[in-house]
Amino acid sequence: MRQMTTAGALLVAALTLSTGCGLLDTDQPNIVDPGDVETEAGAQARRIGAISDFAFAQDGDGTGSGDGHILLSGLMADEFVLSTTPPTEQEVDQRRVFENNSTLFDLFHNLHRARAATEAAASALREFGADPDFDPGIGEMLSLAGFTYVYFGESFCSGVPFSRLEGEEVVFGAPQTTDQMFQTAVGQFDAALAEPGTAGEESQEIAYLASVGKGRALLNRGLFAEAAAAVAAVPTDFQYVTEHADSPLRLQNAIYSYSVGFLWSVSDVEGGVGLPFRSAEDSRVPFVDEETSGLDGTTPQFTLTKYPEASASVVVADGIEARLIEAEALLQAPDLGGMTAVLNDLRDAGGLDPVDEPGTQAEGVDLLFSERAFWMFATGHRLGDMRRLIRQYGRTSDTVFPSGTYIKGGSYGGDVNLPIPQEEGNNPNAVGCLDRNA
């Protein structure tokens, strides 16, 4: 077998808050009596539950009950190819996704659940916390809520409704356009940054988390200079991650499980236009050539080893992304030399050879988006970036998304995002997708 090694010079340990607590800490009040819900202990339990819901929606878990945003968005993009057989997942891989797709609904439901849980936890910490003005958990919850809006905007079509509970009654939300989802995300990140508990030196990690999230949302809105300003204070070695464990299954990293289970295979120049994630032999996308097929018996299996065990953490936001956002602002300036210098600083720190300055603006776009794809492989960024190449840079879908003959037979469809599941038809305000072309 041929094995790629991983570049780890810029990767740091999982975030631990000195004034907070992690999902895997054993002394957390994550189970409380019903009568204690509206208490400080109940508020902390909501926070722990919200972190768990967020990690499940983003990463999936070992139960197989939800693929997670990273896996499904990477499957629709050019990161993964399906090496097993479920037709609902093949629809995503083949870019022919129907509204009655159960895998689609699971992701949609889990993201909404994480959104509601993080927002509710922020409210509970503010209302019942011992000292809300010094609690970084409120900013943390608002930030994670902001990321759920980002994920909806990057992966789903325009027109996602956002409903809420008032008491025991559901207040059905109106559809939001793609840009409105990113505006809502910015509002959540701004609220996190405005929290008194986010402002202190001991809470810098939460401020960095919110800043990177805000920069990402602004980038999606095409506000490049504003995005760069939002992340300017974030150090390159910052990293906020979701935590996982070997057991129980609910805490396992599904990206690892799906890879070693021969369900997902690392793609390479998929559909003739995808990036060369394997053939580039780049240490940022480590994999093993298993020299056999996946569970479908036909697709060659290349197993991702970026997440080497079920307990491997997954990056939500980091300083590398902050520098890449700044590099894109320089691309837009345009300052190709400045952009290349930022990219080469990251490559040097990661033990990679430098790249040459692009000769044209189009080559600069190619380089910037390639660097983003390799640095942030399998972290849930690629689908949003491919959509941005269409929406912001004027590229056509057949030059960005896998096209032509599909590996399992037939041809790729034309989807560039995920539709709103048919179950959302229960919302009288829902109208389905407003736009599936960008």
pLDDT confidence tier of residue 32, bands split at 50, 70 and 90: low
What is d(CA 42, CA 22) in angstroms, rounded to the nearest whole number?
16
Residue with the two structure tokens 């609910």: 250
What is d(CA 160, CA 177) in angstroms, rounded to the nearest whole number?
7
pTM of the model: 0.92
Residue 235, token pair as written in the block: 């150090």
Taking 70 as the threshold, does the pLDDT of residue 230 lie above it?
Answer: yes
CA 65 to chain centre: 18
Q: What is the pLDDT of residues 338-385, one digit of tens each?
A: 999 999 999 999 999 999 999 999 999 999 999 999 999 999 999 999
Residue 317, token pair as written in the block: 């936001």
What is d(CA 365, CA 360) in angstroms, rounded to the nearest whole number?
9
- Sketch out the chain's domains with CATH numbers: 2-9+22-231+251-317+417-426 (1.25.40)
What letters, b where the CB count within 10 A reaches 16 and e where it falls short, cover 282-301?
A: bebbbbbebeeebebeebbb
Return the H-helix or E-strand segment holding 400.
helix 397-400
Prior bond to 34 cis, omega within 30?
no
State the pairing for strand pair 287-293/2-3: antiparallel
What pLDDT does residue 35 have? Answer: 52
Three-class SS of residue 419? Answer: coil
State the pairing for strand pair 239-242/2-3: unpaired
Q: What is the mean pLDDT of residues 265-284?
A: 98
What is d(CA 48, CA 53) in angstroms, rounded to the nearest whole number?
9
Please name which of 1, 74, 107, 57 lies closest in space to residue 263, comparing C-alpha atoms.
74
Which residues are paired to 293 by β-bridges?
300
The DSSP symbol for 68 reads: -
Three-class SS of residue 404? Answer: coil
Taking 60 as the threshold, does the pLDDT of residue 335 lie above it?
Answer: yes
What is d(CA 304, CA 253) in angstroms, rounded to the nearest whole number?
13
What pLDDT does residue 62 have? Answer: 84
What pLDDT does residue 98 have? Answer: 96
Cβ contact 14:25 at 8 Å:
no
